Amino acid sequence: MASNNESNRYLEILKWFVGTVVLGTAGIIINYQIQKTELEIKRLEADAGFLNVVTKNLENRGDTTELGYLEFIQTFITTHQIKVEVKARIRELETHINQTVTAEAKAASDKKVQNLMGALSSDQIEQFRQIEKEEKTTEGEQQSINELIQKESEVADQETPIHSNSISSISRAKELTTPLSVKTKKETYTRIGKPITRWCKKGYYVEFGNTLRLGINELTSGSIIFNLKDIEGDKRNNPQFIENNAEVELSEGEIYTLTYDSYRYEISLDYIGSAGKNPFTKAAYITVTTYKK
């Protein structure tokens, strides 16, 4: 009987101990969750308040100042909800800035075409018309855009190129809105220099840095068909088509991404418009951002 009483006593002590431990642990967990939730709420309020203070007086959607602020403060944001909001706003601003600058560049080049038409003589117009016919019927090996620049300069040496300001404004916008690095599932690519904006016409090619040559096969009012060649190192004199990318179609505003060898290229067709000194032919304004892993 004594043995049973002692066993019962031990059992009661064990129950008390287990109950105390369980209740104590549960209390600790609940308290931790409460504190964690309170901390998350405080962080969320702090991040939201910080975001509101930084952006409250920035009314222009395309204001590069706001973009700079957002890119700066996203390194300090700790809550997921605000991070998502900031990233979405950054993407929205980047798109708006690029669209605004592109529209302004296109309008500026169109205005320069009108001015140029008024400045050209009848003989110059006839020569440019002849070049236009030659470009439309171009077949076979593409020439460097430098060949066309030289040809157009011989016709109108004193005239300012149509694209003179458009290229620089697009380049500045692209530099502002293009990330310094890109992460994929397997690799991290770091940007090499600044994004490069060039113009090119049908039947010609243009080079970006020391690695990529882009030639235009077809050019319409809103798109191009182009090819890509590798010119790195000793391949410049006899460049080879980049595998599976001998012909690519791209519309205005679109971005084509290519990973080749150790490089990653982001190729955007900014717009189709006038460039060079010939007001009768259209050109593609193209920006290439080069990354390397």
Averaged pLDDT for residues 57-66? 60
| Selected residue with higher pLDDT from 216 and 63 | 216
- What per-residue confidence (pLDDT) applies to 61? 47
Q: What percent of the chain lies above the pLDDT cut of 90?
A: 42
Q: What is the residue-averaged pLDDT of the chain?
A: 82
pLDDT value of position 212? 94
Average pLDDT over residues 113-136: 88
42-60: per-residue pLDDT in tens?
665 665 665 665 555 555 4
Q: How far apart are CA 167 and CA 272, in angstroms?
A: 13
Q: Are β-strands 143-144 and 204-208 bridged in parallel, bridged antiparallel, or unpaired?
A: parallel
State mean pLDDT over 77-86: 76
Among 43-57, 107-121, 228-242, 248-262, the range scoring the smallest mean pLDDT is 43-57
pLDDT exceeds 60 at position 22: no
CA nearest to 230, candidates 251, 246, 218: 246
Q: 219: which 2 tokens?
A: 């050019």
Nearest CA to 155 out of 277, 3, 33 is that of 277
CA dist 100 → 2, 153, 258, 270 (Å): 93, 30, 26, 11
Phi-psi domain of 253 (left: phi exceeds 0; alpha: psi -120 through 50; beta: other): left
Query: What's the pLDDT score for residue 45?
Result: 60
Whole-angstrom Cα distance, residue 259 to residue 154?
A: 39
Highest mean pLDDT among 25-29, 185-189, 240-244: 185-189
Listed in sequence order, the DSSP H helices in 120-158 are 122-136, 145-155
- For residue 99, is pLDDT > 60? yes
Higher pLDDT, 140 or 87: 87
Which residue did the predictor score with more confidence, 81 or 191?
Answer: 191
CB 292 within 8 A of CB 192: yes
How far is it, in rounded angstroms, from Cα 30 to Cα 28?
6
Least confident of 34-48, 128-142, 162-176, 244-258: 34-48
- pLDDT exceeds 60 at position 29: no
Average pLDDT rounded to a whole number, residues 27-32: 55
